[in-house]
Homo-oligomer: A and B are copies of this chain.
């Protein structure tokens, strides 16, 4: 098969786990409390959308509801996330980052991005631009599909 999409797929399968591993290592070597990648994604989302309910968060991050509940337990225990009852629908909870959570997220994100940027710095400027463009494409292509939630 000489399909160019297939070549990309093969390369994706080799490159992505490597990068992911580097991200994981960075995430765990910050001076700040360690964050797993799902925890990090959770915190990024809460930073952007404070007040999110547990179910919505679980769907976005791609975890089961109990798993997300447990993760939030941990983040609340570390003082990184606040969990408050929702007034209008008392079944729901409103999640948000605490000030400490925001600070930790900022440090973790910055540290990880610096480490990644350090490697990327080895590329020429046009190559970096290509990379940026390609990554944006990838993000759009692999965005979770919200269109067929209804069964």
A residues contacting B by CB (< 8 A) are 3-23, 37, 41, 62, 109, 112-123, 125, 127-139, 141-144
Contact = CB atoms under 8 A, between A and B. Distances in A.
Q: State the main secondary structure of chain A at its contact with B.
A: helix
Given A13-B112, A13-B116, A130-B130, A142 B7 contact: no
Contacts of A127: 133-134, 137
> Counting chain B CB atoms within 10 Å of each CB, which of A9, A109, A122 scores highest?
A9
As for how many copies of this chain the complex holds, the number is 2
A5 B121 contact: yes
A139 B16 CA distance: 8
A116 B9 contact: yes
B20 A125 contact: no
B14 A128 contact: no
